Structure 1
Amino acid sequence: MQLHTTTWGEGDRVALLIHGIMADHRTWRRVGPALAGRGYRVLAVDLRGHGASGRAGSYTPEDYADDLVETLPADAELAIGHSLGGLALGLAVRRLAPRRAVYSDPAWHLPAGDDGYRPEMFTQAKSLKREQIQTMNPRWEAVDVGIELETLRLWDEATAYDLVDIAGRDLLPVKPLVPSLVPIADPSFLVNKERAALLTERGFEVRTVAGAGHTIHRDDFDGFMAALDGWI
């Protein structure tokens, strides 16, 4: 599927931004312009079932990865994927072949079992009110709360159900195919201490953004950009 794409900047270097579940390119509203200010031409997609991109009958991680390869240029200077976007980027990275990859709190392991992943954890968000989103994300700016309301309205909740099949599976990459950074939340419910140590052993650089929630770039924009030091 050809994905809806938003561009910031006109630099010679290309950066790719891939959002997480329930979001769209607007989650990068500060990151995109910041990278453009550093000389990048920044391309941010809306994944299938999100934002202005098409809806589909299938929402597997492989579907997302194939869409990225169909839509985005290969050999970008930088590719950043958050959560589900990090999982999709990991599956597409061999074909996209960016010079550097950043996996922000990636969804490489969804817990299973009674206390594990349930689609309702996400689909219930459809009914959230502005005040509830602000309470759940006290460090977000008001504009991000408004964006969240709009992206939830556009989001196809069927995407949450196709993730059930990967719950409990270990999808951590065996090794980085390109130089790779993994910024994680503090604490991270997707990359715990044991998985962070394993990623480090496998050749990834892991950096914790102290006090940040899962959507690091919204929760602590300055901390997120600082975590990218030396990678952008």
Structure 2
Amino acid sequence: MQLHTHTWGEGDRVALLVHGIMADHRTWRRVGPALAERGYRVIAVDLRGHGASGRGPYSPALLADDLVETLPAGAELAIGHSLGGLTLSLAVDRLRPARAVYSDPAWHLAGPAEGFGPEVFAAFKSAPREQIAALNPRWEEADVDVELETLKVWDEGTALSLTALLGTDLLPAGPVVPSLVQLADPSFLVDGARAALLAERGFEVRTVAGAGHTVHRDDFDGFMASLEGWL
């Protein structure tokens, strides 16, 4: 599927941005311009089922195929957050960016025994402003606005499609290209043991102290600082 994209900047270098579940390219409202100021042409997708892109069927493999169909290979930088991190990891061998950043990637989807179910995400589609703000006290008001708008156009079937992956580890065997794993503090997707395993496998692992799961919205300055040496 050819995905809807949004571009910032006209630089000679290319950066790719892949959002997480429930979001779309608007989640990168500060990251895109910041990378453009650093000389990048920044291309952000709306994954299928999100934003202005087409709908269903859904699976991580299909999402990855969409990235390959839509985005240019050989970019200087690719960043994927949460589900976008999982999706990027499944496409990175074909996209072959010079560097990849996986921001709190969804490489372990907790099962029912760990208090998670796809229906939890699906029900969040109707979350009111007060709930979103309470769950994300460090977000700017503009980020709450964006979240409400993206939820309106999100197909919750994307969450329900992940049922078969619950409780499984999806950690890559190793980095296909030089790769940074950027973690929230704490991360509910990549715990300490998994972070250590990723480091053993050749990933660089950095934690943004005090940041929540959506690191780039919870602590934009910390997010950017943790990319030192990768931009």
TM superposition score normalised by structure 1: 0.98
Could you give the per-residue CA deviations for residues 122-146 of structure 1, whole angstroms, max 9, x where no partner exists? 1121121111111110000000000
Structure 1 equivalent of residue 68 of structure 2: 69
The answer on whether the counterparts of 2:122 and 2:160 sit within 8 Å (CA) in structure 1 is: no
1:190 & 1:136 partners in 2: Cα distance?
Answer: 17
The answer on whether the counterparts of 1:110 and 1:116 sit within 8 Å (CA) in structure 2 is: no
**Deviant stretches of 4+, over 6 Å:** none
Q: SS where residue 62 of structure 1 aligns?
A: helix
1:117 & 1:71 partners in 2: Cα distance?
Answer: 32
Shift of 1:37: 0.2
Structure 2 equivalent of residue 43 of structure 1: 43
Q: SS where residue 43 of structure 2 aligns?
A: strand
1:165 & 1:35 partners in 2: Cα distance?
Answer: 36
Structure 1 equivalent of residue 86 of structure 2: 87
Is 1:101 matched with 2:100? yes
Q: SS where residue 3 of structure 1 aligns?
A: coil
What is the percentage of aligned positions where both structures have the same residue? 74
How many residues of Structure 1 are paired with residues of Structure 2 in the alignment? 231
Structure 2 equivalent of residue 15 of structure 1: 15
Is 1:31 matched with 2:18? no
Structure 2: gaps (5+ residues): none
2:130 & 2:112 partners in 1: Cα distance?
Answer: 31
Structure 1: gaps (5+ residues): none
Q: SS where residue 114 of structure 1 aligns?
A: helix
Q: SS where residue 113 of structure 2 aligns?
A: coil
2:116 & 2:16 partners in 1: Cα distance?
Answer: 28
Amino acid at match of 1:198: L
Structure 2 equivalent of residue 208 of structure 1: 207
2:86 & 2:160 partners in 1: Cα distance?
Answer: 16
2:163 & 2:126 partners in 1: Cα distance?
Answer: 21
RMSD (Å), alpha carbons: 0.7
2:55 & 2:24 partners in 1: Cα distance?
Answer: 13
Shift of 1:55: 0.7
1:78 & 1:182 partners in 2: Cα distance?
Answer: 13
1:76 & 1:187 partners in 2: Cα distance?
Answer: 30
Task: Kindly report which structure 2 residues correspond to 1:111-126, keeping only aligned pairs within 5 A, or say none.
Answer: 111-126=110-125
